[in-house]
Copies of this chain bind each other. A is one copy, B any other.
Amino acid sequence: MSNTETVATLGENLSLKRVIERLRKPTDASSNVLVGPGDDSAVLAAPDGRFCVTTDTMVEGHDFKLEWSSAFDLGWKAVATNAADVAAMGAVPTSLVIAMGVPSDTEVRWLEGFVDGANAACESLAPRCFVVGGDLAASDKIFIAVTAFGDLQGREPVLRTGAKVGDIVAVGGTLGRAACGLALLQSGNADAINTWDDWVNVQRRPEPAIELGVLAAQAGATSMLDISDGLAKDAARIAKASKVSIALSRQALQGYEAVLEGAASWIDADAFAWVLGGGEDHSLLATFAADATLPRGFKRIGEVIDVAAEAGSDVLLDGQPLAELGWDSIWG
């Protein structure tokens, strides 16, 4: 086969077939995949009689740039971001379907790289999760729409509505690293990008701690979500849904800020803005009863309080509404 085979030369159907053949497949009989790709629908097991479903989209030029992300990166990220939404319910990701549009001059090699990235992310982040179906369409720009499924294993889903006054607020995973990586890429400063490539790689291939979702549910998390738009915005979502306020401690957040200071000073940026406003680490934000034992991997960053009287104070930092502290921009 020539390396310059494109979707146009193969056709959408044949290209999709090639993609499907490359997908990682279950090797044991205990998989949830009863009928895999190739028919009108896949058929999946839902052992406890329920399943979780979430969908998320990435669009070229809006959510990613081909100069900054390889096909492998995008396949990885598409899986990671959706698996995090499943984990945020306290569920185990079991499978996903991917609908994509690509220009007809897209090389089949690019598609293969995408599949390799998706396979690698499943294997690394959610080993029992498989791609079970897809659709490949012609489009002017690339878009990637992933729908992911999860198994609650008999547990109740952890919603955004259950935070109670007095609960601990905790984060599972890192904060601000992907935002730092994006700022580095946007700076165009090659030295900075090379020096801080760990943070750039978090932007390209986030590694959310998917297993922390189940651990949080088992530890009795009262509410949880995946931080996709930044700590400030996503904490406000829990606060609004649970009709409480969330009081964050700057001291508890300083460790997340500290590791980003070097990169921030290099490109004259504000590391704490990344910690509060950056979402693409896809860490989990959860609340736990005051007497709960936090699962290893979760760190206490604040507490749930009564709805604060001041306007715009779903989230407070050291007792002050975030907006009044000059963090308007991260509420965008």
The answer, yes or no, to whether A138 is at the interface (CB within 8 Å) is yes
Chain B residue nearest to A85 in the complex (CB): B40
Partner of A137, one of B35, B62, B225: B62
- In the assembled complex, the Cα of A132 lies from the Cα of B39 at a distance in Å of 24
Interface string of A38-61 (1 = CB under 8 A from B): 111111111101111111111101
Chain B contacts for A45, CB-based, 8 A: 49-50
Task: Tell me whether A89 and B40 are in contact (CB under 8 A).
Answer: yes
Partner of A41, one of B38, B49, B89: B89
Knowing A49-B49, A140-B140, A141-B141 are in contact, say whether A99-B43 is a contact too (CB < 8 A): no
- In the assembled complex, the Cα of A226 lies from the Cα of B40 at a distance in Å of 7
Interface residue ranges, A against B (CB under 8 Å)? 34-35, 38-47, 49-59, 61-63, 85-86, 88-89, 91, 95, 97-101, 132-135, 137-141, 143, 145, 147-150, 152, 157, 159-160, 224-226, 241
Chain B contacts for A49, CB-based, 8 A: 45-47, 49
Task: Tell me whether B59 and A42 are in contact (CB under 8 A).
Answer: no
- In the assembled complex, the Cα of A57 lies from the Cα of B88 at a distance in Å of 27
Task: Tell me whether B89 and A39 are in contact (CB under 8 A).
Answer: yes
Given contacts A41-B52, A58-B137, A62-B138, 4 further A-B contacts (CB under 8 A): A35-B157, A40-B54, A41-B91, A57-B101
Partner of A59, one of B63, B85, B138: B138
A34, A45, A143 — most chain B CB neighbours (10 Å): A143
